[in-house]
Amino acid sequence: MNHAPVILPAADSELARLVESICDGTIAPAERDRLESLLTDDRDAKLYYVAYLDMHAQMQWVTRGEEQEVVDSPAIDASVGAAVELPHQLDPEPQIPEPPFPSLSTTHYPLPATPFVGSWAFSCMVSAVIMGVMLLVFWAMKVTHHQHIAEAPSQSAPSDAMPEMVFVGRITGMVDVKWSDDPYFLPPLSSRAYVPLGRKYILSSGLLEITYDSGAKVILEGPCTYEVESTAGGYLALGKLTAKVVGGQWSVASAKPQAANQKSEIRNQKSPSSFIRHPSSLFSVRTPTAVITDLGTEFGVEVSDEGTTESRVFRGSVKVLVLGGTAGLPSSGREVILRENESARVEGGDEPRITVLGASAKTADFTRGMPTVTYKTLDLVDVVAGGDGFSGRRNRGIDPTNGQVGAMTPKDSTVLFGNGKYHRVEALPFVDGVFIPDGGKDAVQVDSAGNMFAGFPDTRNATWKPIWAGGMIPSNPPSAAFLGGIDYASPPHCLLFLHASNGITFDLEALRRANPGGRLLRFRAVAGNSSEAMSSPDGARVSADLWVLVDGKVRFERRDINGYSGAFSVLILIGDNDRFLTLATTDGESNAVHGDWTMFGDPRLDLMQVDANEPKDKRGGD
């Protein structure tokens, strides 16, 4: 049955605004009443509200398991040339997080201070029982086979045999991860997400590190499909992983309702205290054709498209068990122990076979440790002033009419007419060129690759000041440059002053070459028309435009701004194939007035540096 479609109101409509306020939790009582009146007797509005709130609920739902975590994630440092190394290892003593069903936490059960039945603790317990039932199914459906595969033969009591729904670890590192496009696969929303039992990770490329609560680490290398199917292992359907097992002992303490007599527990138990300690277990990786079990080691496993499994031991030893035929059951006698530097290949089919390879055999190239990722902030003012982005240089200018670099003096503050051409800046390795953007006649060349842009307005091919990388703006007297209450002409800030009309293009490829292994992530700045321009008697009539282009295509545009327009936050994502970044300003409809003191404050490029210097199979090794 086709349901009536959801009709989206205009983004700036009252209905849209009020529904947003309710999601933000910022709605005032009067607005709430107004929303009620808008929804009453309007079925389309009700359906819109329901659909919107359902989306809101879904996003709450998928982040439920992470609400309890309090970890400061490292932000990219805004300071000049700063480098922030991101830790891949998080808590040295991993803790069991709150499961997504909040009442399951054993350590947070409050003692009942009020009558127990009907209290929160009571509901917690019953919910735990419900979850216990759910887990019974979960166990039956998903985990039973792990008892055979990932764990030592069970010797525990029946009540201990049922695993509870737990988070088995967390993501502790990601480098260049691209997730699968599979429409049914939802990637983890957090780069430090907890890892629930049963979670599948499908990587198209990049590296993902999971640290189990036991201390075992698994590095998945895309393309790869891996499912966390036990607290001590997983199923590698495709691709490569490296597992490093620390110690080999593991334990998880959490509440689990007893399988039997659940209702009597609800009635009688006042404080659940069934802390279940799992038996020690060996870490195992299951594949379509084999099970590789850790015997105190570090090893790699690769599964090909055909399901062939190749395993290599870097340290210690592993047991490789061949899975036979279509039933997926172990075949007796098809088990080998591999020692350091040995490898084995297991081919499936009706007649599975295992081939042990010696230390000299060429095997797959495994990533044994997560590369160190460092974020750097590249300062574009320094670049224009002659630096490499990290040297903090200031107070140099470029003449947009010829590309000449030099100091700028107040006498330079005179009208400059361009010749309609793009000028290379030979003296600066990372500045491709400069120009006066004038769309009066033709499209304007904006980089040395010949990209043209036809969107600039008619500026009469003129500007009133050179491009300035500062520092106080040279004028008489030297001028500060306030935007949003901050003076970007004074330390610790800086500015790229582009009095309308000016244009400058940075060579992103040259910056990448100068930072091997670096990946440009984004350009950011605060932009606007300096409020100092308001000293002009024509201030209120000032009109200028701000532009950011990448390879000749507009990524950011603000038109008709003056000193009262405030500061604009500019954030442009840089792709790996983006070659040129162009910043430009143009006169608006105010050629006759003065005060187009347009600027980019603290212009930065964020750079991610991955240490790709070590050989791949040596990373993180001994």
Q: What residues between 176 and 195 interact with another protein by CB under 8 A?
A: 179, 181, 183-187, 189-190
SS3 for 65-88 is: HHCCCCCCCCCCCCCCCCEEECCC
User: In 10 A of CB 328, how many CB atoms?
Assistant: 14
> According to CB under 8 A, which residues from 66 to 85 bind another protein?
66-73, 75, 78
Selected range binding another protein among 132-140, 300-308, 351-359, 392-400, rule: CB under 8 A: 132-140
> According to CB under 8 A, which residues from 566 to 605 bind another protein?
569, 571, 573
**Longest Cα pair distance anywhere in the chain, in angstroms?**
93
**What's the chain's Rg over C-alpha atoms?**
31
**φ, ψ (nearest 5 deg) of residue 506:** -100, 145
Q: Which string of x and - marks every residue 18-57 that binds another protein (by CB under 8 A)?
A: --x-xxxxx-----x--xx--xx--x--xx-xxxxxxxxx
> According to CB under 8 A, which residues from 138 to 177 bind another protein?
138, 140
In this structure, is the dihedral angle defined by the CA atoms of residues 478, 484, 490 and 495, taken in order, positive or negative?
A: negative
Per-residue tokens: 160: 């201990």
Residue 46: CB minimum distance to another protein, A: 5
> According to CB under 8 A, which residues from 452 to 481 bind another protein?
none
Nearer Cβ to another protein (14/67)? 67
C-beta separation of 303 from 290 below 8 A:
no
Nearer Cβ to another protein (127/304)? 127
Residue 142: CB minimum distance to another protein, A: 11
Nearer Cβ to another protein (143/472)? 143
117 counts as binding another protein under rule CB under 8 A: no
> According to CB under 8 A, which residues from 244 to 263 bind another protein?
263
User: Rounded to the nearest 5 degrees, what angle is found at the Cα of 18, between the Cα atoms of 15 and 21?
Assistant: 150
Nearest-angstrom CA–CA distance, 572 and 185: 27
Nearest-angstrom CA–CA distance, 525 and 380: 10
Number of chain residues interacting with another protein (CB under 8 A): 81
Selected range binding another protein among 115-123, 419-427, 467-475, 558-566, rule: CB under 8 A: 115-123
Nearest-angstrom CA–CA distance, 398 and 170: 50
Nearer Cβ to another protein (97/169)? 97
Residue 512 carries which side chain, given as an amino acid letter? R
135 counts as binding another protein under rule CB under 8 A: yes
Q: Which string of x and - marks every residue 495-524 that binds another protein (by CB under 8 A)?
A: ---------------------------x-x
C-beta separation of 254 from 275 below 8 A:
yes
Residue 321: CB minimum distance to another protein, A: 31
Q: Which string of x and - marks every residue 364-403 that binds another protein (by CB under 8 A)?
A: ----------------------------------------
Q: What single DSSP character describes residue 509?
A: H
Give the number of residues written for the chain: 622
